[in-house]
Amino acid sequence: MQSPARRTVVEVRVELKPGVMDAEAESVLRSLGLLGIGPVARVRTAKVFSLEFDDVEPSKAEALAREAVDRLLANPVIHKVALSRVPH
Amino acid sequence: MQSPARRTVVEVRVELKPGVMDAEAESVLRSLGLLGIGPVARVRTAKVFSLEFDDVEPSKAEALAREAVDRLLANPVIHKVALSRVPH
């Protein structure tokens, strides 16, 4: 009988660097004003990718997540990235 | 002379409910496979909106963020939402 998979979750949070135009955030800020919700001074957005691994060593999972960031999930010219392991 | 604005940041994290198709996550999972990055078992995505308030009481800021969620940022049919105040 197999034991249940040991799960590791690494969260990758991708946001735009300061100074890079965040069109979605600007749109949200304007819409909040039109709806009369506020005053809201600023809006920022971020995208989170949760990568889940089964039976992978946590250090290996983090290395794979870092590789995913470098090769797929983020553009270092415009994005700031934070990785964190999610506790269970 | 005015004192600096007291800033309150409320983060709204919007993700799809379990069972709702996450096309972006599926696309990322497939791309990771094609790139040979893995094994990754599952991918989930979320969107974060950071709402920043100047000189607004924290409880009022949270109420405004909740209103923003209800009227603009999320669809209760498909979205799960978490609000959190970001410490400074």
Q: Which CATH number characterizes residue A61's domain?
A: 3.30.1280.10
Contact predicate A8/B39, CB 8 Å: no
Mean pLDDT over the full length of chain B: 94
Contact predicate A85/A58, CB 8 Å: yes
Q: What is the pLDDT of residues B44-84, one digit of tens each?
A: 999 999 999 999 999 999 999 999 999 999 999 999 999 99
| pLDDT band for position A87 (cuts 50, 70, 90) | confident
Q: What is the pLDDT of residues B14-47, one digit of tens each?
A: 999 999 999 999 999 999 999 999 899 999 999 9
Whether A41 maps to a domain, the answer reads: yes
How many beta-carbon contacts under 8 Å exist across A and B? 98
Whether A77 maps to a domain, the answer reads: yes
Report how far residue A87's alpha carbon sits from residue A9's, in angstroms, rounded to the nearest whole number: 8
Q: What is the pLDDT of residues A17-66, one digit of tens each?
A: 999 999 999 999 999 999 999 899 999 999 999 999 999 999 999 999 99
Burial class (CB in 10 A: 0-12, 13-18, 19+), A12: buried
Of the candidates A5, A2, A1, A11, which has an alpha carbon nearest to the alpha carbon of residue A47?
Answer: A11
Beta bridge partners of B69: none
**Element of type H or E holding A83:** strand A79-86
Kindly report the nearest CA distance between residue A83 and chain B, in angstroms: 14
Whether A47 maps to a domain, the answer reads: yes
**Paired tokens of A66:** 């870092």
Whether B2 maps to a domain, the answer reads: no
Whether A69 maps to a domain, the answer reads: yes
A48: nearest CB among B35, B45, B50: B45
Going A15 to A25 to B24 to B78, the CA torsion angle's sign is positive
Contact predicate B31/A69, CB 8 Å: no
- Which amino acid type is present at position B16? L
Split into its structural domains, chain B has a count of 1
Within 8 A of B51 by CB-CB distance, chain A residues are: 40, 42-43
Beta bridge partners of B54: B7
Report how far residue B21's alpha carbon sits from residue A16's, in angstroms, rounded to the nearest whole number: 26
What's the confidence (pLDDT) of residue A38? 87
Whether A2 maps to a domain, the answer reads: no
**Best residue in A7, A29, A42, A62 to probe B by mutation, most B CBs within 10 Å?**
A42
Whether B52 maps to a domain, the answer reads: yes
What's the confidence (pLDDT) of residue A3? 63
Task: Kindly determine whether residue A37 and residue B71, on different chains, have CB atoms separated by under 8 Å.
Answer: yes
Within 8 A of B52 by CB-CB distance, chain A residues are: 40-44
| pLDDT band for position B3 (cuts 50, 70, 90) | low
What's the confidence (pLDDT) of residue B63? 97
Residue-number span of the structural domain to which A44 is assigned? 7-86
- Secondary structure of residue B88 in the 3-state scheme: coil
On the question of pLDDT at B2 being above 70, the answer is no
Whether B71 maps to a domain, the answer reads: yes
On the question of pLDDT at B1 being above 60, the answer is no
Report how far residue A42's alpha carbon sits from residue A21's, in angstroms, rounded to the nearest whole number: 13
